[in-house]
């Protein structure tokens, strides 16, 4: 009955309206094709031109793997890559633990100052990264001066400063992701465990933790990616002696296009794709 009326309606509708509908659909499709091309053509070009034998890296003159070979022979870049990985691993572990604890507190407890804590958690996500970078730079200088006047020993910015900063901005992202999985959580499971005699500790490790684990892993992967890709805070907070990969890449691309940069960019791109694929896989399991 309902189908029949809708059918009569379609027939009754003037031909021009139906034409417009398909035209609208066509326009949507055309826009989507253009947008996906817009997003992916530059990336494809970058990958292609990491294999060109042209020394300026902007023309196709033949296939070569030379640039990748040079990349791995470049001590400075490899050192920077290792530093970046080190910073990312430590800040991910720390921010995942701190973030998960904070998420549990925010979702499971009502306390005074909760709204303030909420603001403190959201601010790092919404303020421009450069504000956080200059603030941390000023703070580190201030704190180092203070520490020096106490201990008498000069302190300089190094990888630890970067790690501290990365943890500070990653916590908020981990909290957002873990809170989402705590919100979708069936609290009755915990009550059932308690009814069966499990204490708080057992309930957490046997029930709560396995159920929010996908959220924790998702948050950790996000924190890892954020730290690997972070360039602005790393630029402001890494001291003169310590180099990080995104900062090295930035210093090179400011000068010119080179095929080595195309190659390292391609590798960074592949790593991001692997990470986003992994995070999707974890979420699918949920």
Partner 1 sequence: MALDTLQKQRRRSGRLRLAGLLGPGALWLTLFFAMPLVIILLYSFMTAGPRGNVIWQATFGQYAALFTKDIYVNAYTRSIWASVLTTLICLLIGYPLALFIARSPQRWRTPLLFLILIPFWTNFLVRIYAWQIILSNNGLINSALDSLGLPTQTLLYTENATLLGLVYGELPFMVLPLYASIERFDFTLMEAAADLGASRWRAFLRVMLPITMPGVAAGSVLVFIPTVGQFVVSELLGGAKVDYIGNLLQRLFLRSNPPNWPLGSAMAVVMMAVLMVMIMLYFRSTTEEDR
User: Cα–Cα distance between 117 and 84 in angstroms, integer?
Assistant: 30
Tell me if 155 contacts partner 1 by CB under 8 A: no
Minimum distance from CB of 151 to partner 1 (Å)? 18
Identified binder of partner 1 from the candidate list 86, 89, 93, 129, rule CB under 8 A: 129
Burial of 41 (0-12, 13-18, 19+ CB in 10 A): exposed
Name the one range near partner 1 by CB under 8 A: 69-77, 150-158, 181-189, 247-255: 247-255
Give the H or E element holding residue 275.
helix 259-285
98-120 as b/e: b if 16+ CB within 10 A: bbbebbbebbeeeeeeeeeeeee
Minimum distance from CB of 61 to partner 1 (Å)? 11
Identified binder of partner 1 from the candidate list 74, 194, 229, 282, rule CB under 8 A: 229
Q: With respect to partner 1, which residue has the nearer C-beta, 40 or 72? A: 40
Residue 210 token pair: 């396995």
User: Cα–Cα distance between 237 and 166 in angstroms, integer?
Assistant: 10
Q: With respect to partner 1, which residue has the nearer C-beta, 78 or 127? A: 127
Residues 4-63 that bind partner 1 (CB under 8 A): 9, 20-21, 24, 27-29, 31-32, 35-36, 38-40, 42-43, 45-46, 49, 56-59
Residue 283 token pair: 């979420």
Tell me if 152 contacts partner 1 by CB under 8 A: no
Residue for token digits 């005699």? 197
Tell me if 196 contacts partner 1 by CB under 8 A: no
Residues 88-117 that bind partner 1 (CB under 8 A): 97-99, 101-102, 104-106, 109, 111, 117
Residue count, binding to partner 1 (CB under 8 A): 86
Q: With respect to partner 1, which residue has the nearer C-beta, 86 or 204? A: 204
52: which DSSP letter? B
Minimum distance from CB of 189 to partner 1 (Å)? 19
Q: With respect to partner 1, which residue has the nearer C-beta, 69 or 200? A: 200
Identified binder of partner 1 from the candidate list 130, 146, 147, 281, rule CB under 8 A: 130
User: Cα–Cα distance between 113 and 110 in angstroms, integer?
Assistant: 9
Closest CA to 133 of 109, 164, 112, 106: 164
| 95 to 87, 133, 169: CA distances (angstroms) | 12, 18, 9
User: Cα–Cα distance between 15 and 13 in angstroms, integer?
Assistant: 6
Q: With respect to partner 1, which residue has the nearer C-beta, 82 or 276? A: 276
């Amino acid at each position: 009955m309902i189908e029949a009326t809708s059918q009569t309606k379609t027939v009754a509708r003037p031909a021009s309206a139906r034409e417009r509908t398909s035209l609208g659909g066509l326009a949507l499709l055309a826009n989507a094709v253009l947008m996906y091309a817009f997003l992916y053509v530059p990336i494809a070009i970058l990958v292609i031109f990491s294999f060109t034998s042209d020394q300026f890296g902007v023309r196709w003159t033949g296939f070569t793997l030379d640039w990748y070979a040079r990349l791995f022979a470049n001590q400075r870049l490899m050192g920077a890559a290792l530093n970046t990985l080190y910073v990312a691993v430590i800040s991910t572990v720390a921010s995942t633990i701190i973030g998960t604890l904070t998420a549990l507190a925010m979702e499971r407890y009502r306390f005074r100052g909760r709204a303030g804590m909420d603001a403190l958690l959201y601010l790092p996500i919404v303020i421009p990264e450069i504000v956080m970078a200059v603030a941390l730079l000023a703070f580190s200088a201030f704190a180092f001066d203070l520490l020096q006047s106490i201990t008498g020993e000069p302190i300089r910015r190094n990888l630890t400063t970067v790690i501290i900063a990365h943890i500070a901005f990653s916590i908020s992202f981990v909290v957002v992701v873990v809170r989402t999985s705590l919100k979708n959580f069936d609290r009755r499971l915990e009550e059932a465990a308690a009814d069966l005699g499990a204490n708080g500790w057992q309930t957490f490790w046997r029930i709560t933790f396995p159920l929010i684990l996908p959220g924790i892993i998702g948050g950790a992967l996000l924190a890892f990616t954020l730290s690997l890709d972070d360039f602005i805070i790393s630029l402001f907070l890494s001291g003169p002696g310590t180099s990080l990969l995104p900062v090295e890449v930035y210093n090179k691309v400011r000068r010119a296009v080179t095929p080595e940069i195309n190659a390292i960019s391609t590798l960074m791109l592949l790593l991001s794709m692997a990470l986003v694929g992994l995070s999707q896989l974890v979420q699918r399991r949920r």
